[in-house]
Amino acid sequence: MADSKPAAPMPQPTDEHKKLYILAGEWEGDENIAPSPWGPGGPAKGFSSIHVAVDGFFVVQDYVEVKDGRTVFRGHGIYGWDAAQQTYTWYWCDSMGQVPPQPSRGRWQGDTLVFESSSPQAQGRYTYRFEGEAIYHFKLENSFDGGATWLTFMEGTYKKTR
């Protein structure tokens, strides 16, 4: 009879994983969208349903943007922690249909979580600034000159409704 060894314990979420849990909840906010090739911009409403998933290792977001009374944009995000690279990760796909080549990578700076991404078209910077646990401000910026200048594409302030 072979010796049976106890199974190794399953991994557990770390403090870095748990720091992302602040995103969990139902969120609603007023947004301002810059004019772009996809529309004239202007005010919109954003709605996110975000929950802790996969035994606490990831946080999953479903997002809807409503403008002029109709849904104009949808997105799905997955936030995590990459211990090997010591960065937060954010995988994002949306109704624009582009496949993300890699996650955006981020770090906490006090009460602010900043992600950055790079593609052949542009660089992106995504800033979440928290006011306690019930309000956050989000800013999406793009750079088309290697990060020398940044243009704000969208800003919003969101309040937790649940």
CA distance 151 to 125: 10
Q: Which of 64, 67, 86 is nearest to 75 (CA)?
A: 64
Asked if the model's pLDDT at residue 1 lies above 60, the reply is no
**What pLDDT is attached to residue 2?**
60
When pLDDT is cut at 50, 70 and 90, the band that residue 100 belongs to is confident
* CA separation for the pair 153, 119 (Å, rounded): 16
Q: Which residue has the tokens 């109704």?
A: 95
Give me 30's structure tokens. 């007023």
The class level of CATH for 15-160 reads mainly beta
Domain positions in the chain are: 15-160
Q: Is the pLDDT of residue 9 over 60?
A: yes
Count of alpha carbons within 13 Å of 56, Cβ hemisphere only? Answer: 10
**Is pLDDT larger for residue 5 or for residue 114?**
114
Place 87 in a pLDDT band, splitting at 50, 70 and 90.
Answer: very high
Residue found by looking up tokens 């401000």 in the block: 137
Contacts of 154 (CB under 8 A, 6+ apart): 31, 32, 33, 34, 138, 139, 140
pLDDT at 3: 65
Decide if pLDDT at 88 tops 70: yes
pLDDT digits 0-9 by tens, 104-137: 999 999 999 999 999 888 999 999 999 999 999 9
Residue 105, both tokens: 């990578």
Percent pLDDT > 70 in the chain is 98
Using CA atoms, how far apart are residues 108 and 162, in angstroms rounded to an integer? 24
